[in-house]
């Protein structure tokens, strides 16, 4: 994008903020969930491999960046130029192997240096910077990765699986006790342990679960379609009927 195109875009957002009743009424807080939604739509376009849609969704996300900047700038006095300068300075500062004389072995070494640089910038914990709004699985895995970078990690994959088995036993014990609060706590521990094992297995837990959700949705919609051809709905059908159709689509896949 040329500077003139970007400046035109920024000026359009500024005008909307001044003249459009809806845009004038918004705050950073009022559209924060919309921003999250736009980020997920970008991810959805990537998952679909739809680059035409990705182009549109990245535009929507860019709108939110500029709009948030305009609204916050009215209070804090910064501009989009300040935002760009801030990220420019950060990229240079956190890539001394590119813009300085630091040597790195590989991508993992780069990530280790990245965490050290962030701590040197004034963070009190290596876990700082993980938004509470992140999906739980994603936040869990990112937290585990950050702890790992400073040596707080299992050394053997088998030990991580033993931890999963231990959490399963504790979860079952809580179920037998019938204490709902304890059941929830132990289920959380089990999910955390499974997420940690997925990291050792080289799998991104958030992606794995999302793919399973998509698979369930695809198969269940197929069940609904086949039942509809019979003039029925899931609520009118037996579990055996639905299982038969489910196994049919599962075999086809």
CA distance 44 to 46: 5
The fourth-level CATH superfamily of domain 152-203 is: MazG-like (1.10.287.1080)
Per-residue pLDDT of the chain (253 residues; tens, 9 = 90+): 468 899 999 999 999 999 999 999 999 999 998 999 999 999 999 989 999 999 999 999 999 999 999 999 999 999 999 999 999 999 999 899 989 888 888 888 887 787 788 778 888 888 888 888 888 999 999 999 989 988 899 999 999 999 999 999 999 999 999 999 999 999 999 999 999 999 999 999 999 999 999 999 999 999 999 999 999 999 999 999 999 999 999 999 8
Per-residue burial over 125-148, b = 16 or more CB atoms within 10 Å of its CB, e = otherwise: ebeeeeeeeeeebbbbbbbbebeb
Give Dmax (Cα) for the chain. 71
* Dihedral sign (CA 100, 102, 105, 109): negative
CA distance 42 to 217: 20
Pick the CATH number of 3-92 from 1.10.1760.20, 1.10.287.1080, 3.30.930.10, 3.10.20.80: 1.10.287.1080
Domain positions in the chain: 3-92, 152-203, 207-252
> Tokens 């179920």 map to which residue?
175
Matching fold, domains 3-92 and 152-203: yes
CA distance 248 to 227: 13
| Per-residue model confidence (pLDDT) at position 231 | 94
| DSSP states along 106-145 | SHHHHHHHHHHHHHHTT-SSTTTT--TTS-HHHHHHHHHH
CA distance 214 to 208: 10
Structure tokens at 144: 């585990």
Structure tokens at 22: 């809806």
Structure tokens at 111: 């990530």
**By the 8 A CB rule, do 68 and 30 touch?**
no
**By the 8 A CB rule, do 97 and 104 touch?**
yes
């Amino acid at each position: 994008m040329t500077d003139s195109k970007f400046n035109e875009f920024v000026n359009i957002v500024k005008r909307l903020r001044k003249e459009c009743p809806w845009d004038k009424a918004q705050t950073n807080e009022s559209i924060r969930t919309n921003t999250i939604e736009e980020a997920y739509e970008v991810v959805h376009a990537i998952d679909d491999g739809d680059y035409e849609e990705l182009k549109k969704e990245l535009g929507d996300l860019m709108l939110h960046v500029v709009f948030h900047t305009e609204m916050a700038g009215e209070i804090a006095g910064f501009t989009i130029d300040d935002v760009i300068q801030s990220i420019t300075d950060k990229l240079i500062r956190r890539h001394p192997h590119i813009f300085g004389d630091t040597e790195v072995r590989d991508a993992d070494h780069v990530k280790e240096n990245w965490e050290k640089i962030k701590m040197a910038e004034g963070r009190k914990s290596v876990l700082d910077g993980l938004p509470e709004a992140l999906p739980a699985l994603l936040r869990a895995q990112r937290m585990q990765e950050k702890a790992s970078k400073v040596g707080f990690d299992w050394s053997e994959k088998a030990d991580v699986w033993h931890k999963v088995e231990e959490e399963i036993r504790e979860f079952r014990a809580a179920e037998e006790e019938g204490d709902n609060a304890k059941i929830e706590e132990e289920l959380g521990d089990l999910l955390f342990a499974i997420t940690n094992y997925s990291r050792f297995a080289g799998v991104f837990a958030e992606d794995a679960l999302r793919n399973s959700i998509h698979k369930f949705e695809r198969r269940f919609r197929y069940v609904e379609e086949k039942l509809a051809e019979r003039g029925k709905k899931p609520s009118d059908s037996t579990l055996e009927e639905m299982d038969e159709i489910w196994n049919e689509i599962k075999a086809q896949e």
